[in-house]
Amino acid sequence: MLSIEQLKKSLFVSLWFAFLTFPLLVIKVDPIERTVQWRWENMALVAAGSFLVSLLVRVFQVQQERRRERRATGEFVDRVPIMQIILSEPRYLYTLSGAVLLCSLVFPFLFSTYQTNIMITALMYVMLGLGLNIVVGLAGLLDLGYVAFYAVGAYSYALLNYHFDVGFWMALPIGALLAALFGVLLGFPVLRLRGDYLAIVTLGFGEIIRLILENWNEFSEGPSGISNISRPGFFGIELSLEHAILYLYYLMIAMVVFTIFVVNRLQDSRIGRAWVALREDEIACQAMGIDKRKTKLTAFALGATWAGIVGVIFAAKTTFINPASFTFLESAIILCIVVLGGMGSIFGVIVGALILILLPEYLRALSDYRMLAFGAVLVTMMIFRPQGVVANIRRSYQFKSKAEGEG
């Protein structure tokens, strides 16, 4: 049960939220009629909703405290989450993956072209999240300028198509290689940096790329951007807009499957274990003989490669790009996908991308309050699941003696 003091604190939180949202949700000014409408019911809803949420948080905290006490006395046995069981058992994982892939393949035939287009965007962010997951989730390098590599891929295809009429399939590896090159160029100056200092430098790098694209008119056409970019071709066949969207959707499905396979193999490889060691303790990692410089540069290069690939796909999808599409907000959204889904977890990043990209679209029914609801969902998520939707399963190794093995 909650104490009177905790109830008073929840009441204070509800009054504080009502006060903060008063100018936005209660007062509505009509400049044409010169009238002011007072919407007191909104204030009551905010106060009641924040009071209930605060109560739930406090109940959750009390339960967590009791659970810790019972665990300390040996009375509590941890329950394994169902998602951890699914991800650790290959038969369950393959069944779930097959069901998701089957649903993805029939999706365009069950929903409209508009919904398919939204899903293409969500799949693009899945790839971006998996790429940043290499840098942030596995290697532990906080990169706030990830959108710069995304811009490099998009502009590489746009400029090659605009000046030399280079097709999509030829530009795809070029964009990936250029983004990887820029990843290495960013990696060299930040080899000795960690934490907040690394974040500030990568943020500055992302802004430098955006400002160059915005002000170098002779090279990038400046704020006007580049239009009439060719869509992906299918053996030289001209596709209508609807068929082009369908083709791009299935292309994104194949690219996401390929990305999951490669990232999973990297995670289980020697370099993947080096990334995890670097994330856990950089000094101990170096003391064990791991080349810290090569490990960091590989993480930046491989993470940037996927951003470059998605950048090329983005330019082909929209057929128009300008620097306004590559602001810091994009880097923040991709980082939120990794953190919300679960750092280091492939399945978690996929779930996080689908939630963060699809939720604002399907909250359009809330009109002006959809971003408020979206923010409330994120805050609630970080309170109740700070480790992410699907936390990464921490590997443990158990060593047995030869006598134990024979017994």
- What pLDDT is stored for residue 340 in this prediction? 86
d(CA 301, CA 358): 29
- What pLDDT is stored for residue 37 in this prediction? 83
- What pLDDT is stored for residue 404 in this prediction? 54
Distances (CA, A) of 399 to 89, 239, 272, 274, 405: 22, 59, 22, 21, 10
Distances (CA, A) of 45 to 40, 299, 307: 9, 47, 42
Q: DSSP for 156-206, please give it.
A: HHHHHHHHH---HHHHHHHHHHHHHHHHHHHHTTTTT--HHHHHHHHHHHH
- What pLDDT is stored for residue 76 in this prediction? 53
Q: Dmax over Cα atoms in the chain, in whole Å?
A: 89
d(CA 358, CA 55): 29
In one letter, which amino acid is 341?
G
Report angle CA 214, 181, 261 to the nearest 5 degrees: 110
192-228: burial string, b at 16+ Cβ within 10 Å, e else: ebeeeebbebbbebbbebbeebbeeeeebbeeebbee
- What pLDDT is stored for residue 226 in this prediction? 92
Other CB atoms within 10 Å distance of the CB of residue 134 = 29
* 3-class state of residue 27 by DSSP: strand
- What pLDDT is stored for residue 88 in this prediction? 62
- What pLDDT is stored for residue 301 in this prediction? 94
- What pLDDT is stored for residue 132 in this prediction? 94
- What pLDDT is stored for residue 75 in this prediction? 59
- What pLDDT is stored for residue 370 in this prediction? 65
pLDDT tens track of the chain, all 407 residues? 567 887 888 888 888 878 887 877 778 887 887 788 888 888 888 888 888 878 877 777 777 777 777 777 765 555 555 555 566 666 667 787 888 888 888 999 888 898 999 999 999 999 999 999 999 988 889 889 999 999 999 999 999 999 998 989 999 999 999 999 999 998 888 888 887 888 899 999 999 999 999 998 888 888 999 999 998 877 777 778 888 899 999 999 999 999 999 999 998 889 998 998 888 888 888 888 888 889 999 999 999 999 999 999 999 999 999 999 899 889 988 988 898 888 888 888 998 898 888 887 877 766 666 667 667 777 777 777 777 777 666 555 555 666 555 55
Report angle CA 67, 71, 74 to the nearest 5 degrees: 140
Q: How many helices (H) and strands (E) does the chain have?
A: 17, 4
Nearest residue to 126 via CA among 298, 231, 245, 253? 253
* 3-class state of residue 10 by DSSP: helix
